[in-house]
Structure 1
Amino acid sequence: MINALAFIALGFVAMELAGWAIHKYLMHGPLWMIHRTHHEPSKSFFELNDLFSLLFGSIAVVLIFKGIDALDYRFWMGVGISVYGLLYFILHDIWVHRRFKWFGRPKNFILKGIFKAHQAHHRTNTKDEAVSFGLFLVPKKFFNDQEK
Structure 2
Amino acid sequence: MAMECLSWFIHKYLFHGPLWFMHKSHHQKAKSFFEWNDLFAGLFAAVSLFLMYADRDNLSYRFFIGLGITLYGLIYFVVHDWFVHRRFKTFKSNNTYLQAVRKAHKVHHKNRGKEKGKAFGLLFVRKTVLKN
Once residues 22 and 76 of structure 2 are traced to their aligned partners in structure 1, the CA distance between those partners, rounded to angstroms, is 19
The Cα shift of 1:15 comes to 2.2
Number of residue pairs the alignment of both structures matches: 131
Q: Which residue of structure 2 lines up, in the alignment, with residue 20 of structure 1?
A: 8
Identity fraction in percent: 49
Once residues 10 and 60 of structure 2 are traced to their aligned partners in structure 1, the CA distance between those partners, rounded to angstroms, is 27
Q: Which of residues 39, 62, 66 is equivalent to 2:54? A: 66
Moved over 4 A (4+): none
Q: Which residue of structure 1 lines up, in the alignment, with residue 104 of structure 2?
A: 117
Under a length normalisation based on structure 1, what TM-score does the superposition of the two structures give? 0.82
Q: Structure 2 regions of 5+ residues with no counterpart?
A: none
Contact 1:114–1:142 (Cα < 8 Å) also in 2: no
Q: String of CA shifts for 1:26-67, please: whole Å, max 9, x gaps.
A: 111121111110000111111001111111111111111121
The Cα shift of 1:142 comes to 4.7
Q: Structure 1 regions of 5+ residues with no counterpart?
A: 1-12
Once residues 94 and 142 of structure 1 are traced to their aligned partners in structure 2, the CA distance between those partners, rounded to angstroms, is 22
Once residues 58 and 138 of structure 1 are traced to their aligned partners in structure 2, the CA distance between those partners, rounded to angstroms, is 28
The aligned amino acid for 1:141 is T
Residues 35-114 of structure 1 correspond to what in structure 2 (within 5 A)? 35-104=23-92, 106-114=93-101
Under a length normalisation based on structure 2, what TM-score does the superposition of the two structures give? 0.91
Larger Rg: 1
The Cα shift of 1:140 comes to 2.4
The aligned amino acid for 2:110 is R
Contact 2:107–2:129 (Cα < 8 Å) also in 1: no
